[in-house]
Amino acid sequence: MLFNRNNITNASMLINSDSLVLKEQSLLLAKTIMCLNENAPCNNCLQCQKIEHNNNVDVLIYPKEKSAIIVEEMLEIVESVLLTPYEHDKKVYILNNFSSTNIQAQNKLLKTLEEMPNNVYFILNVENETKVLPTIKSRCNKIYVPNKNNNDLYDSLKEFNLTVDEKNEIVAFCNHSQQNAFDYAQNETFFPLLNFVFDLWTNLRNSSQILKYSSKLYQIKSEFMTFLRLYSLILHNVFYAKIGKFDMISEPDKIELYKILSKDFSIKSLINISKYCIKVNQKLDSNCNHNMVVDNFLLTILQERARWQQ
């Protein structure tokens, strides 16, 4: 159990890159705080049930409309802290997506965190710790929420109409992210895209083939980030196959395939490609021409492959 009622502080910061995992865990923490039973969270009492059904009037979840809390909303939060709870003797504020809250709005919360009333609890859900003011961080108890394990991720996909193999493939490529797993399960282009990435890994061998892959990548501009994420995850597996760390490969039933793919690259060239993937991300963030980024990416893969074969 991640939370223990006896050592919950008034300001907690939950940290994980996956917003869905954070939402889930912040509700669990809210239940642990508000539960009417000794053995919290019981999931049965009125308070737990109301949190479960999103209608606990003393658990306030922000932002209400926008994707991140804005200054006006933060002022509303700060002013309401001193009001007594409606039904319980405590109240909880869950601030989602807190690392996307701008600095001005974060600043408005500082004084409240410094002088917290005993019966008020703040839970800040943070996907990117570097975007949170150090003064906020130092006033919170930081809790690094672990990622979901593969069994839990697999179980979470039961509501989708997918085969066992498809679910396994999603788990292997979601990078431990519940959000990614759900996105992939709902997106019918996911499996064709994954096949395309494997095809590229297997068959892009000389410059005459660049056109085939680049024209496809020009077309799927909106999915390029997913493409790059899948490409990088396969790269990790190829790398582990290369250095003999087979237990680290995220798809155990494809070890032989990864061994074959690893024969075309040196360790150094795999590291170089991995570094280049990060560069591609930066280039796309800074609005470089998409087609040019694609061309350079494919050329880099070929160069690194050729370097090994010289």
Query: At closest approach, how far in Å is the CB of 37 from Zn ion?
Result: 5
Query: At closest approach, how far in Å is the CB of 179 from Zn ion?
Result: 27
CA distance 151 to 276: 32
Phi, psi of 141 (to 5 degrees): -85, 115
Contacting range for Zn ion; rule: CB under 5 A; set: 34-42, 50-58, 122-130, 165-173: 34-42
> Would you say 5 or 259 has its CB closer to Zn ion?
5
The answer to whether 48 contacts Zn ion (rule: CB under 5 A) is yes
Token pair 């319980």 in the structure block, residue: 88
The answer to whether 29 contacts Zn ion (rule: CB under 5 A) is no
The answer to whether 81 contacts Zn ion (rule: CB under 5 A) is no
The answer to whether 49 contacts Zn ion (rule: CB under 5 A) is no
The answer to whether 70 contacts Zn ion (rule: CB under 5 A) is no
Query: Whose CA is closest to 279, among 300, 252, 259?
Result: 300
**234 neighbors 244 (Cβ within 8 angstroms):** no
> Would you say 37 or 195 has its CB closer to Zn ion?
37
**181 neighbors 151 (Cβ within 8 angstroms):** no
Query: At closest approach, how far in Å is the CB of 34 from Zn ion?
Result: 7
Query: At closest approach, how far in Å is the CB of 40 from Zn ion?
Result: 6
**Number of amino acids touching Zn ion (CB under 5 A):** 5
DSSP 3-state assignment of 223?
Answer: helix
196: its two tokens? 């395309």
Burial of 55 (0-12, 13-18, 19+ CB in 10 A): exposed
- What one-character DSSP code corresponds to residue 244? T
> Would you say 35 or 69 has its CB closer to Zn ion?
35
> Would you say 39 or 163 has its CB closer to Zn ion?
39
The answer to whether 35 contacts Zn ion (rule: CB under 5 A) is yes
**Amino acid at the residue 273:** I
* End-to-end CA separation in angstroms for the chain: 54
Q: Where are any strands of DSSP class E within the chain?
A: 11-15, 59-62, 91-95, 120-126, 141-144
Choose, by CB under 5 A, the member of 45, 68, 78, 284 that binds Zn ion.
45
Choose, by CB under 5 A, the member of 20, 42, 204, 220 that binds Zn ion.
42
The answer to whether 51 contacts Zn ion (rule: CB under 5 A) is no
Query: At closest approach, how far in Å is the CB of 80 from Zn ion?
Result: 24
Site for Zn ion, rule CB under 5 A:
35, 37, 42, 45, 48
